[in-house]
Structure 1
Amino acid sequence: MHSRYARPAAVLGAVLALAGAGAFSRAAAEPLTLDAALSRAQTQSPLVTAAEASVKAAEGRARQAGLMPNPEAGLQSENFAGSGPYGRFGAAETTATISQRLELGGKRRTRAVAANAEVDAARIGFTIAKADLTQEVRVRYAEALAAQDRLVLAQETAARAEGLSKVASTLVEAGREPPLRALRAEAASREAAAAVIAAEAEALAARRALVTLWGEPGETIELVRGPEAAAPTQTTIDPSETLDVRQARADLQTARAVIDRERAAGRPDLTVQAGVRRFEQTGDSAMIVGFTAPIPISNRNQGTVAAARADATAAEARERLALARSVRAVRDGEASLRAANARLEVLDSKIVPQAQTAVDLARGGFEAGKFSLLEVLDAQGALTTARTELIAARLERAKALAALERAAAQ
């Protein structure tokens, strides 16, 4: 019987050895604090690079929008290669001209205003990309810490289950417990050993999810737990001035500027022309001047103007929606933080210590023959549940803080 009950101990020892090897490899990894993770993400993330490139593209379009049209040079020969006196080039007339299209109706001004509005919107979008990345890094880092805590909890639970299985087998051999109790302890030990393997995989996956944010999925890191972050003060979070509302407001300004631009685009331009004409037959020359302008009979750009007005209406609706969502996000974040703080306080100061005390008493009483194995297993299960909830409460607080930091970002 002794050899049968020693098997789970051997299995658990192998599992803990594998987990210890993983811990050793992490110990050799580079320590990474939350601040360092935020810095690496902001400097290396492809998302930030793409958003920054969008700003540069908008700035290039704005520079282009402020330029006037280039002049055009022309050269034209007439009255040659015909019949009679026009059969040779001697009777030809050669004209060299320079023409310039003059943009009327404020085209260049409205085009530049619209392009500059797009630059402002792109810059806010760049700031939003960085703020979103910061929030995601905070959440991923907190999730990785939570996965690491769950791994430690699983290892400690497995170690307790192994010890309890040994004690149970000893008591069975001594005739103080029925064999069914040892089988129950053996099953609990094997289940705890399997939980260690699952927790190890979850911890590794959480770290990979973190380092992927700056494009290094194969990097090995060691998390460094820092002090608890403080919540942003409520007075600094104005729902009407969050990044999302400012982005919607900038999009609305862009849409309104596009209306003016398209209205101006429907007004006809004037092209002036000046040049010199040379008469080959006499060798004389003369100046020519002229202008051309389109006649806006059917195409006055009215369709594009109507589309721009519809886009502005949609932008107004999105601004109202962004404001409503911003108010909800701030209020929900504050409520979630209050709830997480309250839950964390109760778990950390009362529930977990009480559950630990119950396990110690039950374990001591079981070894002294005062409590049954079932009472010890129930107490250990309650402790594991309480510590799991404590880890979840810390994670929820970190997520609420990240959401509030995102709402307060400027």
Structure 2
Amino acid sequence: MRYTQFLFFVLLNLSAQFGLIIPALAAENISLDEATTLALQANPDIAVAISGREVESGQALQAGARPNPTLSGQVQDLRSQNRISSIILSQQLETAGKRDKRIAAADASIAIADADIRIAQAETSAKVYAAFYQVLAAQQAQMLAVELLQIGTTSTETTAKRVLAGKVSPVEETKAKVIEAGLKIELVNANQQLAAAKKRLISLWGKGLASTETTAFTAVGELDKFNTLPALAELAAELPNSPRLKKASLAVTQKQALSEIEKSKQTPDITVSLGAQRNQELGGLTQAIIGLSIPIPLFDRNQGNLQSAKAREMQSQDEKTALENQLQAELAIAYAGWQSQIEAITTYTQDILPGAQSAFDAARKGFEFGKFSFLEVLDAQRTLFQTKTQFIQTQSSAHQAEADIQNILGVTSTYKPLVGVDKKESP
């Protein structure tokens, strides 16, 4: 196990130093699964959690160590004819299962470290999920801005020709130019938002990768597809399996093991001694020495440490209960947010977008019959595009709420969908 993790760190460091991960970013297209794989391989938070497990493994190794023997010697009276020399080997014998209880506590700490790894993986996966769909949304918003600017440029040129033909006032051309300038600014903002979204995604792939050279990729996915979630009660039933709650349960187990250690310390250890003594006064006679030492727990019975350990044990129980309540509240909030966004998407699809499209079509036909000015057509077009932009933002928010639910439940990758989830087309 340790060799595998060591090899993982070696490959990770080589990847970071010699660019073995970055070439994957040079691909023109990248999917959600590919983005998640990169993050799970190179995210520094996961690396920190793995290092933490190595720390606990070392502590577990030390917990199983037995007390070292003690070798002592002494000489009484340096005069050779009266000298008494002795050498004694002492060994402390642990009682009340102290070593086994230390090992149990260390194993609990390793289990907590494993839970930290799963938590880091789940959080990273959820962050990638949200960031990836933010990139998809920014890409669509940028394409809308490009399309709208093209229409604005065309309208300016058309209006200029109509001014030359004497069909409209020069004021109309000025208005068209102002609108076109505003559309250029919107495109610049859209480009900046897209670059920022890509950098947020890339930052999850490891330190040093969020550079401008690595943002030349296109996220490939379907922004308009969502998971069909089960009822809130069904999702809440999965909370005990979340890494965060499992860690809280393991923390209770660890505190119980630590309490057992403190309780075992109330039983004194025994020290046995075996040695020899050479007495020159008795003609160099060598005598055996056998000793037994037992501390008398008269004043210090470790009662204070045991009381503190029991209090920490109760505290961990309370922390687990508090976390359960917190996760239930977070899940309810995230689920309500997801529901509201899905309802908004349905409203956009059934009412708002068709209405904006109908208004644009009516303005365009009215312009053809001379009932509306070209700027009114452009304004209707702009309203339609603004509605589409808001629709994209709503879709992105729905995916963000879904990512929050994934994080709460502890989904570790996009290969594992939410419990009871089937993919379907949005309405």
TM-score normalized with structure 2 length:
0.81
SS at match of 1:177: coil
What is aligned with 1:108? 99
The aligned counterpart of 1:275 is: 275
Aligned runs of 1:155-234 on 2, under 5 Å?
A: 155-215=146-206, 216-218=209-211, 219-227=214-222, 228-231=225-228, 233=230
Q: Cα gap change, 1:229/1:77 in structure 2, threshold over 3 Å: closer, same or farther?
A: farther
Which one-letter code corresponds to 1:336 in the other structure?
A: G
Report the residue type matching 2:100 in the other structure.
Answer: R
What is the distance in 2 between the residues matched to 1:221 and 1:168?
A: 37
User: Does the 8 Å CA contact 1:242/1:326 hold for their aligned counterparts?
Assistant: no
How far does the alpha carbon of each residue in 1:237-268 deviate from its partner, in whole angstroms, 9 at most, with x for none?
52333222222111122122222212223432
Q: Which amino acid aligns with 1:209?
A: R
Q: Which structure has the greater CA radius of gyration?
A: 1
Task: Tell me how far apart the structure 2 counterparts of residues 139 and 210 of structure 1 sit (CA, whole Å).
Answer: 9
- 2:329 and 2:218 map into 1 onto residues whose CA distance is 33
Structure 1 range deviating more: 337-346 or 194-203: 337-346
Distance 1:232 1:67, change over 3 A: farther
Structure 1 distance, partners of 2:167, 2:366, is 13
What does the per-residue CA deviation read over 1:127-178, in whole Å, with 9 as the maximum and x for residues that have no partner? 1110011001111111111111211111111111112222222233333333
Whose helix fraction is larger, Structure 1's or Structure 2's?
A: 1
1:50 to 45, 48, 51: 48
Kindly indicate whether residue 38 of structure 2 is the aligned counterpart of residue 40 of structure 1: yes
Matched, 1:259 2:259: yes
Give the alignment of 1:131-142 within 5 angstroms. 131-142=122-133
CA positional deviation for 1:31: 2.2
Q: 2:72 aligns with which of 66, 71, 74?
A: 74
Q: Distance in 1 between matches of 2:392 and 2:81?
A: 98
Q: For the aligned residues, what is the CA RMSD?
A: 2.4
Report if aligned partners of 2:131, 2:200 keep a CA contact under 8 Å in 1.
Answer: yes
Which stretches in structure 2 are left out of the alignment for 5+ residues?
1-24, 412-427
Counterpart amino acid of 2:217? Answer: E
CA distance in 1 between partners of 2:251 and 2:351 (Å): 51
Q: Per the alignment, do residues 150 and 290 of structure 1 end up closer, same or farther by CA in structure 2, a change over 3 Å counting?
A: same
TM-score (ref. length: structure 1): 0.84
Q: What residue ranges of structure 1 are gaps of 5+ in the alignment?
A: 1-26, 81-85
* C-alpha deviation, 1:180, in angstroms: 2.4
Select 1:120's aligned residue among 108, 111, 117. 111
1:39, distance to aligned residue in structure 2 (A)? 0.6
- Output the amino acid matched with 1:308: A
For residues 395 and 366 of structure 2, the distance between their equivalents in structure 1, rounded to whole angstroms, comes to 33
Counterpart of 1:199, as a letter, is A
The amino acid that maps onto 2:168 is E
Contact 1:94 1:279 in 2 (8 A): yes
What SS does the corresponding residue of 2:68 show, helix, strand or coil?
coil
**1:9-408 pair list within 5 angstroms:** 29-80=27-78, 86=79, 89-215=80-206, 216-218=209-211, 219-227=214-222, 228-231=225-228, 233=230, 235=234, 238-280=238-280, 282-366=283-367, 369-408=370-409
- Tell me what 2:5 maps to: none
- The answer to whether the 8 Å contact 2:123/2:410 transfers is no
**8 A contact 1:38–1:137 mirrored in 2:** yes
Question: Secondary structure of the residue that 1:69 maps to in structure 2?
Answer: coil
